[in-house]
Structure 1
Amino acid sequence: MERLRVLELYSGIGGMHYALTESSVDAEVVAAVDVNTTANEIYKHNFPNTLLLPKTIEGMTLNDFNKLDFNMILMSPPCQPFTRIGLQCDVSDPRTKSFLYILDILPRLNKLPRFILLENVKGFETSSARDALIKTLTDCKYSFQELMISPTCIGIPNSRLRYFLVAMAPPGSFSFQTTAEILNGYPEATSSDRTGSSQIPDGQCGGCSSETCDNGYIIYKMETARDLERKRSQDKEETVQRLKEFLEEEGQGMDLEPYLLPPKTLLRYALLLDIVTLNSRRSVCFTKGYGHYVEGTGSVLQSRADVELETVFKSIEGLSDEEKLKLLSQLKLRYFTPREIANLMGFPSHFTFPEGISIKQQYRVLGNSLNVHVVAKLINLMVT
């Protein structure tokens, strides 16, 4: 196959670019397009030789697209129009405008791109935007497959369930049998694949809420027997790596003290935290609000392995705030660092942030990104 010329739309911090590199497919990114100034600064820092167009996609003309002479599109359109927090405004959300513009441009290109890969949040699959995408691909005679994939199915201890679509222009076909159904996992997955039971729904903390939990007896920390059994089952899943494989080591120029949860957060949100340990084989989805908001934005790490979590939470009932804080502090609960989250999301060790990018900004752009390993495998399946 000739070398692929790739157009990276909504390029963010370069997750698609890193996935393309990891896939070992013979390809080059001819242009990356994004309007976010912080993400563009990070992208340029890590890919200084790639043409980066800091503009809106709607600001590119049909001629601009044709001049790039690309035969693959990698894109991750804004997810907010399809999330509960984003109010699920779908195609009426202004942030969907650029994606609809791409669908309008696609059939009018001088040459249809041979491959298209799209990533978005769970919820996109039931949207009108998705319906418009499928109609455009069908009208252009593309073969395509929709999938729901989380990193847990390739052994990464982080639940980040996402919608994916891979498409191929005629002639030719994929190396796997396509289906009109949305696959749960990769195309070669069997009915016994792990991609279902070992995942935690994105955007939910491990604690119980009135909307998501059963009415069972709360054992401790607002955890029901069902919650605890699910987490223990995940931690026994030996095909998933332990979290300690992705963590930074304290004492080698890395001070983890700034990442400890402050007293105010411990007292107010302790019962809502999803707490994991070094040996856990799970963590919930990290979102752009991690480190700033607590509930539903990602797991926190218990640094002290010699303190029993259940004992601490059963002991704080009825105590004063001062006494509660003394016990909770024994756990040494801390946030994952941006580097650790990048590790879980598959970014290589040479990926770095330029000076001047705050910790809050780092969490934000990582929460908006994708899992590199998951996409790399998809690119291989699509092109092979």
Structure 2
Amino acid sequence: MVVLLLFYMDEWDLKTLYTCDAVRAFVRRRAMAPLRVLELYSGIGGLHCALRESGLSAVVVAAIDVNTVANAVYAHNFPATSLWAKNIEGLTAHDFDKLHLDMILMSPPCQPFSRTGLKADVADPRSKSFLRFLQILPRMEHKPAYVFLENVVGFESSVARRDFTRTLELCRYTFREFHLSPTTVGVPNSRLRYFLLALLRPRVFTFPASSQMLQTFPPSRDDRDLVESDRDPVAGVGHSSCCEMSNSKNCFDKPGHSEIAVFMEPQNDTALALEKQEPTGSETFNGPRSHSVALYKRETQLELERKRKQEDNSHVRPLLEFLDGGDRGRGIEGYKEENTQRYDGGESLLLPDKVLLRYGDILDIVRPDNRRSMCFTKAYVHYVEGTGSVLQMADNIQLQDVFEGIDHLPEETRMARLRSLRLRYFSPSEICRLHGFFPTFGFPNDVTHRQRYRLLGNSLNVHLVAKLLQLLLDHGEEPCSPSAEGTTAGEEKVT
């Protein structure tokens, strides 16, 4: 019957029929056309890696970044992808429309919103390109069905976020926001980040909105019995087309229903909750032993308890599984026999004596069998405090035995104690594994180790983003964005 109907339609009728979202979705599913994806602020390709790991059928039609070193790394790993070394401020809505996009992935510069930056927000020159994107999106004739954004915690309270969400609502998107860390997916690295997932209406999420940032993944579609509570900002009342498409009993967007706010209380993952506990930063070595006074190495009782609870979380994998030479099945002794504490180029990973002596009591020290590590920033190795953990390679030595009373010892004795720990930095390849980059991911030979640390510090966790991209597709009703057929030159299909 459908075949006969199509047979009697002329070309104009067919084009008109294809403008219907539901029909377009049906045609897409039948044709198995891959999603056409644009990466903004592509960096070294963390979003591309996450898209590949997600298992979604997708083609990256273009990646855009102005960092020449990051672009060299991206091109090294994704040579088939069209890489634009352009500033977004110079692009137009027409440039985006020519790509026939289904999805936009982005990780805008975080410095305007980070705790270590000036928090200049939209006044920061590095926000200009993002503000330009907010001008482009409403002017696009063919808006993407899916939008994904990653940034630092702090973005959620920024003017940039306010303007972004207002633009999404104006363009008829519904969205969800998360605070998540790699510990949520079992990775022993604290890297709490803000994420936003957006769907172009009439698509809707199959899990409800929240009064706060979501801090866990929603239940699977098989387990959920949830409702869609988004309000159509254009119509002013619940948008009915989603119900007409899905005919779901779990949709409140039906005629006659008033707007109902449905809130999901965040379910704090153990590791995520512990990660949010900040040290006091005011510890001293004098006074009685309490939660606010350091016991040794500026470690308070509260801080030690937080770390102990992190270690007890069996959901998180041990660091050993991510270390160079740390065969996943051999255990810690087999790993230590082969580890040489050196880069591929021969540069030592061991901490210099001057660093040990000056900063030893503020280092975050972990062992291969630990299930935690600090967030690695772009200043790792160059600076010490708060830039990432260091690894203790010595067996059977307790930190308390080394650091207790160390301030009262002669310098030579202090150095002997500190050297006994055999502390070293994590290598770039180890941080790559913690971030979830695939095994064959690499750097061009002319990219220095300092540059690699900086690039990785600006990157994201692939495993976490991959799961969020799956969520965006799996929990969004009826993806039905138009797409150009096939894959053309300069596009890399992700499968």
Give the TM interval when normalised to the shorter protein. over 0.9
Choose from 417, 439, 443 the match for 1:327: 417
The equivalent residue for 2:316 is 240
The match for 1:222 among 280, 283, 298 is 298
Q: Which residue of 2 aligns with 1:209?
A: 281
Task: For structure 2, list consecutive stretches of 5 or more residues without a partner in the other structure.
Answer: 1-28, 220-264, 284-289, 326-335, 475-495
Deviation at 1:322, TM superposition (A): 1.5
Residue 177 (structure 2) aligns with: 146
State the match for 1:107 in structure 2.
Answer: 138
* Deviation at residue 194 of structure 1 after TM alignment: 2.7
1:169 CA displacement: 0.2
User: Which of residues 90, 96, 114 is equivalent to 2:121?
Assistant: 90
| 2:350 paired with 1:278 | no
Gapped regions of structure 1 (runs ≥ 5): none
Distance 1:53 1:82 in 2: 26
Q: Residue 282 of structure 1 aligns to a residue in which SS?
A: coil
What is the rounded CA distance, in whole Å, between the counterparts of 1:107 and 1:345 in structure 2? 33
State the distance in 1 between where 2:60 and 2:338 align.
Answer: 36
Measured in 2, the distance between the counterparts of 1:233 and 1:159 equals 14
CA contact (8 A) 2:214 2:266 kept: no
In terms of mean alpha carbon deviation, does 244-253 or 154-163 score higher? Answer: 244-253
- 1:130-175 per-residue CA deviation (whole Å, 9 max, x = no partner) reads 0001100111111100100001111111000000000000122123
Change (3 A) 1:253 1:215: closer
Supply the RMSD in Å over aligned alpha carbons: 1.9
Pair 252,222 (structure 1): closer, same or farther in 2 beyond 3 Å? closer
Cα distance between partner residues in 2 of 1:175 and 1:161:
25
Check 1:184–1:23 CA distance in 2 against 1; reply closer, same or farther (3 A cut). same
Can you list the C-alpha shifts for 1:256-290, whole angstroms capped at 9, x where unaligned?
37011000000000111011111111111110000
In the comparison of the two structures, how many residue pairs are matched? 378
- What is the letter of the counterpart of residue 369 of structure 1? S
Query: Percent same amino acid among aligned pairs?
Result: 52
Determine which of 175, 182, 185 is the counterpart of 2:206: 175
Letter in 2 for 1:28: V
Q: Does 1:199 align with 2:275?
A: yes
- Match 2:451 to one of 361, 364, 368: 361
Q: Tell me if the contact between 1:72 and 1:115 (Cα under 8 Å) persists in the aligned partners.
A: yes
Paired position in structure 2 for 1:378:
468
SS of the residue 1:198 aligns to: helix
Shift of residue 320, structure 1, vs aligned partner: 1.7
Q: Per-residue deviation at 1:195?
A: 5.1
- Asked if the contact 2:190–2:275 (Cα under 8 Å) also holds between the matched residues in 1, the reply is yes
Contact 2:379 2:453 in 1 (8 A): yes
Comparing 286-295 with 192-201, greater Cα deviation is found at 192-201
Rounded Cα–Cα distance in structure 2 between residues aligned with 1:295 and 1:136: 38
In 1, Cα distance between the equivalents of 2:276 and 2:188? 11
Distance 1:176 1:36 in 2: 37
Amino acid across the alignment from 2:87: T
In structure 2, distance between residues paired with 1:332 and 1:19: 35
- Distance in 1 separating the partners of 2:413 and 2:215: 47
Does residue 124 of structure 1 match 2:155? yes
Go from structure 1 to structure 2 and tell me whether the alpha carbon gap of 1:110 and 1:180 turns closer, same or farther (over 3 Å shift): farther
Cross-structure match for 2:102: 71
User: After the TM superposition, which of the residue ranges 167-176 and 6-15 deviates more from structure 2?
Assistant: 167-176
* CA distance in structure 1 between the aligned counterparts of 2:102 and 2:86, rounded to whole angstroms: 21
The Cα shift of 1:254 comes to 5.6
Give the TM-score taking structure 1 as reference length: 0.94
TM-score (norm 2): 0.74
Counterpart in the other structure of 2:348: 258
Indicate the larger mover: 268-277 or 58-67.
58-67
| Equivalent position of 1:296 in the other structure | 386
> Do the aligned residues in 2 keep the contact of 1:6 with 1:29 (CA within 8 Å)?
yes
2:45 pairs, out of 9, 14, 20, with 14
The one of 437, 449, 460 aligned to 1:347: 437
Alignment of 1:22-41 (within 5 A): 22-41=53-72
For 1:317 and 1:358, the matched residues in 2 are separated by 36
Q: Which moved more, 1:149-158 or 1:173-182?
A: 173-182
